Chains A and B, each alone.
Chain A
């Protein structure tokens, strides 16, 4: 869960940068302003790190830090080579998050 949020947060932070706005946001460029994306990105990042800490076991903090290069790397490679795939991934994040929440609540 924290990992998904981390990915979304980093995506937003990248989308806040002038040189990546176009490929990352597409038509949403008019809707989302850089500053909003930046604030939302940092906030999500903080929330995801908070979740890792709140999990209780320090292993999750190590996990969160270990996931950083993976999330950033996916965004970097996606930006350079397959921006379409990246759009798909970011759209899948809320779905996966909702799915995870459901499995927590339902059983």
Chain B
């Protein structure tokens, strides 16, 4: 019996190691980006320091629609996310005259696109599940990585010999022992969160992983599938006759009345400016845990209600609750920070796991060639990806405001910086690579609040009583200091570690 159990533990530990190793770097990117996405609207605010105006969500939406009505022609649809107590701008996606869709942040008071064209926190959100790869490859890779994560979590639990006895144990400065303790603590203490976020994340991409249910029922008729998912949605063809849009504010108020006082979160206008325009108002996801759909549709020119619908089917609602738990849009205040903490712990659990793979093998024997490659890739990814994220913030502050396709240039800077760091980490010996790259990361974090405008931004924010920008500055400074503290011990024990290795070699 015990032989079987020992054997099982070994098999589980083997699987845990390999699933973690093969997709660990991808998982690290996903976990880091996902953790940052928890504060997506706040990061967007930080990245648009000129957009300081705030307005009531209905007023902001009315001015946004008014601006689009006068400045946008020949669009097939406007898709607008409301300003709320977290985002101060209206986030608009629209096309014009058969062109591509563009995304713009509209000022809540003037309705005009704000000066600093940037993806903001949306970059991290997209990176989290699309990994900057073309559709569907990014999502495929993300869902395979999520599957590996779930495997790694379950096998990790099975392989952990003293899950309860070592629950509160951390023994610092003991080489492999400390890495293992840290990895265990990061994994075990937030285990409910890790399991929830991995499983729910996997489920959000389930239609990509397991399309067979949809294919068996609908074949290639995806329109029919979408219609059944949202049976109350109003969809009608354009009339090809122009007609002005009725005032939007009364429609928004009527919709909120029908939501039982819950705020609206999104608005879509199909065929704007056409006689058959349809205005659909959606309830905000922040109103409840589950991201269940509730919508009211209006006839554009008259403002009459032509459809109202809320999701009540148990299966769809179950999915909506799981999806809502993953997105965490309902979470405010402390709970949002706890999401951030859980995500941060998962990110660090992945990182420590990757480091542990190398440390464990180094303490037994000199590293094989493959493991030396792993060691260097660890340096490049674990230090390089955060460097890319910080460089993204620097790009936001440094690029000229009137640069063409500015938001794409910011992304290029982020990817370029991460790629450079990855190359540097692979070329340099890890003993130099770790401290150098981590020191660069710390400097980037510490410098981000000041670059491009000195203390001007934070002073302006403080003088108008805006806490978001200073809070993010503070988090950046704390992150920078934490990384700096890591650099110092990383540099000191490395001669000792190599000394121990050489002492063991002759034996």
Instruction: Enumerate chain A interface residues (CB-CB to B < 8 A).
Output: 13-14, 17, 19-20, 58-59, 62-63, 65-70, 72-73, 75-77, 79-81
On chain A, the residues within 8 Å of B168 by CB distance are: 14, 17, 20, 72, 75-76, 79
Is there an interface contact between A59 and B289, defined as CB atoms closer than 8 Å?
Answer: yes
Is there an interface contact between A65 and B193, defined as CB atoms closer than 8 Å?
Answer: yes
On chain B, the residues within 8 Å of A13 by CB distance are: 167
* 22 CB < 8 A contacts A-B: A14-B167, A17-B165, A19-B169, A59-B330, A62-B289, A62-B325, A63-B334, A63-B335, A66-B335, A68-B193, A69-B189, A69-B345, A70-B338, A72-B189, A73-B185, A76-B168, A76-B169, A76-B170, A79-B169, A80-B171, A80-B172, A81-B172
In the complex, whether B467 has a CB less than 8 A from a CB of chain A is no
- Per the bound structure, the CA–CA distance linking A81 and B334 in Å amounts to 25
- Per the bound structure, the CA–CA distance linking A52 and B190 in Å amounts to 18
On chain A, the residues within 8 Å of B301 by CB distance are: none
On chain B, the residues within 8 Å of A67 by CB distance are: 338
Chain B CB within 10 A, most for which of A13, A20, A62: A62
* Extra contacts besides A17-B167, A80-B170 (7): CB < 8 Å: A63-B334, A67-B338, A69-B338, A72-B167, A76-B169, A77-B170, A80-B172
Is there an interface contact between B172 and A68, defined as CB atoms closer than 8 Å?
Answer: no
Chain B proximity of A20: nearest CB distance (Å): 6
In the complex, whether B341 has a CB less than 8 A from a CB of chain A is yes
3 nearest A-B residue pairs (beta carbon)? A66-B338, A69-B190, A72-B189
- Per the bound structure, the CA–CA distance linking A73 and B193 in Å amounts to 14
Is there an interface contact between A69 and B335, defined as CB atoms closer than 8 Å?
Answer: no
Instruction: Enumerate chain B interface residues (CB-CB to A < 8 A).
Output: 165, 167-172, 185, 189-190, 192-193, 196, 289, 325, 330-331, 334-335, 338-339, 341-342, 345
**Chain A, Cβ-Cβ closest to B344:** A69
Chain A proximity of B45: nearest CB distance (Å): 24
On chain B, the residues within 8 Å of A76 by CB distance are: 168-170, 185, 189
- Per the bound structure, the CA–CA distance linking A39 and B335 in Å amounts to 29
Is there an interface contact between B193 and A66, defined as CB atoms closer than 8 Å?
Answer: yes
Q: Is the interface of A mostly helix, strand, loop or mixed?
A: helix
Is there an interface contact between A66 and B339, defined as CB atoms closer than 8 Å?
Answer: yes
Is there an interface contact between B192 and A65, defined as CB atoms closer than 8 Å?
Answer: yes
Is there an interface contact between A69 and B341, defined as CB atoms closer than 8 Å?
Answer: yes
Chain B proximity of A65: nearest CB distance (Å): 5
On chain A, the residues within 8 Å of B325 by CB distance are: 62
Is there an interface contact between A58 and B165, defined as CB atoms closer than 8 Å?
Answer: no
On chain A, the residues within 8 Å of B185 by CB distance are: 72-73, 76
On chain A, the residues within 8 Å of B190 by CB distance are: 68-69
- Per the bound structure, the CA–CA distance linking A70 and B250 in Å amounts to 45
Is there an interface contact between B342 and A69, defined as CB atoms closer than 8 Å?
Answer: yes
**Chain A, Cβ-Cβ closest to B342:** A69
Is there an interface contact between A79 and B338, defined as CB atoms closer than 8 Å?
Answer: no
Chain B CB within 10 A, most for which of A68, A69, A73: A69
On chain A, the residues within 8 Å of B289 by CB distance are: 58-59, 62
On chain B, the residues within 8 Å of A63 by CB distance are: 334-335, 338
**Chain A, Cβ-Cβ closest to B336:** A66
Is there an interface contact between A68 and B192, defined as CB atoms closer than 8 Å?
Answer: yes
Is there an interface contact between A66 and B189, defined as CB atoms closer than 8 Å?
Answer: no
Is there an interface contact between B342 and A73, defined as CB atoms closer than 8 Å?
Answer: no
On chain B, the residues within 8 Å of A20 by CB distance are: 168-169
**Chain B, Cβ-Cβ closest to A69:** B190
**Chain A, Cβ-Cβ closest to B185:** A76
Chain B CB within 10 A, most for which of A14, A70, A75, A81: A70
Chain B proximity of A80: nearest CB distance (Å): 4
- Per the bound structure, the CA–CA distance linking A59 and B286 in Å amounts to 12
Chain B proximity of A50: nearest CB distance (Å): 17
Is there an interface contact between B342 and A66, defined as CB atoms closer than 8 Å?
Answer: yes
- Per the bound structure, the CA–CA distance linking A66 and B330 in Å amounts to 14
- Per the bound structure, the CA–CA distance linking A67 and B172 in Å amounts to 24
Is there an interface contact between A62 and B170, defined as CB atoms closer than 8 Å?
Answer: no
Chain B proximity of A12: nearest CB distance (Å): 12
